[in-house]
């Protein structure tokens, strides 16, 4: 496994992390024991970064609660990233983020669900936040209390990131952005270049494009989970799905022509090979998936392999 620096945290973390949205029943139900097995398999195969959020799970917070169980006894060997913004939104009673105390409240709640002394990285989970002052002051308060170490924002919007960074006075240490072979805008729109310039660690969510880059889906696939059901025929996001499948067809054809690595391995290593040195955080709903993800993190692509993906 390759290891990389995250923010100002002294201990390097694995270049492949584990996204924990998938262990909270929103991608299909699983038991606590199954979730713990996935977490243990991740750690046993070199993964030392675990990414969650206050709102992940049915019910809200289930991802953090399961992560607490899975990391028992190894907490001091890993880095935890969590996010604040959407608690209760799906169930009609969203917590208002209008005061510093409300950010503190959510931070304290995450600490409790995770059962830890401190969270390594806390992110603002509002993609298009225009006025981040309350979050930043709340994060600073949580830092002063010793409950978080570094903070940042989860957004793929360059202007939002720039504003968040400026308001933070350069304290924003980590950004989590949507990026994959099927969504590579961050390479060309200045997003990665800004992160390199400011030395902001990049976490990439959606590195397998919600499973499409696993190679297991086609235009006739039916999605039964709560996250992707809109991709089904007559679903609200069907047009988006068709566009993604067009891109996927192109990528798969080029892989076959070039006799390249299997699709998910190539997709993850493509991310790791970017000059900004991102950390990819794919999710997993099985032990086999998390082991395969981890194995992709042992190297980057060589120059010829990386050039192959040029559009």
Q: Quick one: pLDDT at residue 261?
A: 78
Would the pLDDT of 309 be above 90?
Answer: no
CATH superfamily of 3-210+261-308: NADP-dependent oxidoreductase domain (3.20.20.100)
Would the pLDDT of 13 be above 80?
Answer: yes
Average pLDDT of span 278-286: 97
Q: Quick one: pLDDT at residue 168?
A: 98
Q: Quick one: pLDDT at residue 310?
A: 60
| CA 206/CA 282 separation, integer angstroms | 6
Q: How do residues 197-252 score in pLDDT, each as one tens digit? A: 999 999 999 999 999 999 899 999 999 998 999 999 999 999 999 999 999 998 88
**Which residues are within 8 A (CB) of 120 and not within 5 positions of it... i.e. 6 or more apart?**
6, 9, 79, 80, 81, 148, 149, 150
Would the pLDDT of 75 be above 60?
Answer: yes
pTM for this one?
A: 0.95
Which sequence spans correspond to the domains of the chain? 3-210+261-308
- Share above pLDDT 70 across residues of the chain, in percent, rounded to a whole number: 98
HEC per residue, 202-267: EEEECCCCCCHHHCCCCCCCCCCCCCCHHHCCCCCCHHHHHHHHHHHHHHHHHHHHHCCCCHHHHH
Would the pLDDT of 290 be above 70?
Answer: yes
Question: How far does CA 34 lie from the centroid of its chain?
Answer: 20
Phi, psi of 172 (to 5 degrees): -60, 110
Average pLDDT of span 74-89: 96
Q: Which of 238, 214, 215 is nearest to 228 (CA)?
A: 238
Q: Which residue has the tokens 């950010």?
A: 103
Q: Quick one: pLDDT at residue 226?
A: 84
Q: How do residues 38-68 score in pLDDT, each as one tens digit? A: 999 999 999 999 999 999 999 999 999 999 9
Q: On the CB side of 61, how many CA atoms lie within 13 Å of its CA?
A: 14
Would the pLDDT of 311 be above 60?
Answer: no
Average pLDDT of span 102-117: 98
Would the pLDDT of 12 be above 70?
Answer: yes
DSSP string, 48-70: -EEE--TT-SSSTTHHHHHHHHH
| CA 198/CA 122 separation, integer angstroms | 18
Q: Which of 135, 203, 140 is nearest to 174 (CA)?
A: 203
């Amino acid at each position: 496994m390759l290891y990389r620096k995250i923010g100002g945290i002294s201990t390097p973390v694995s270049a492949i992390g584990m996204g924990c949205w998938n262990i909270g029943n929103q991608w299909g139900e699983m038991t606590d024991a199954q979730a713990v097995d996935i977490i243990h398999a991740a750690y046993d195969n070199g993964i030392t970064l675990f990414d969650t959020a206050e709102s992940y799970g049915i019910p809200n917070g289930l991802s953090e609660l399961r992560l607490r169980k899975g990391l028992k006894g190894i907490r001091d060997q890993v880095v935890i990233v969590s996010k604040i913004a959407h608690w209760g939104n799906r169930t009609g009673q969203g917590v208002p983020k209008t005061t510093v105390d409300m950010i503190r409240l959510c931070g304290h709640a995450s600490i409790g669900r995770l059962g830890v002394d401190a969270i390594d990285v806390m992110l603002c989970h509002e993609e298009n936040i225009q006025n981040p002052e309350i979050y930043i002051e709340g994060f600073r308060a949580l830092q002063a209390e010793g409950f978080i170490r570094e903070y940042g924002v989860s957004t793929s919007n360059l202007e939002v990131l720039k504003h968040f960074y400026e308001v933070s006075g350069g304290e924003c240490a980590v950004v989590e952005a949507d990026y994959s072979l099927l969504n590579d805008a961050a390479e060309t729109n200045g997003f990665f270049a800004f992160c390199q310039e400011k030395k902001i660690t990049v976490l990439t969510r959606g590195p397998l494009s919600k499973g499409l880059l696993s190679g297991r889906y086609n235009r006739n696939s039916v999605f039964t989970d709560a996250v992707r059901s809109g991709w089904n025929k007559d679903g609200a996001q069907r047009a988006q799905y068709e566009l993604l499948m067009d891109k996927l067809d192109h990528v798969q054809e080029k892989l076959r022509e070039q006799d390249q690595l299997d699709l998910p391995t190539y997709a993850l290593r493509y991310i790791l090979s970017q000059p900004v040195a991102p950390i990819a955080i794919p999710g997993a709903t099985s032990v086999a998936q998390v082991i395969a993800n981890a194995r992709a993190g042992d190297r980057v692509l060589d120059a010829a392999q990386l050039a192959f993906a040029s559009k």
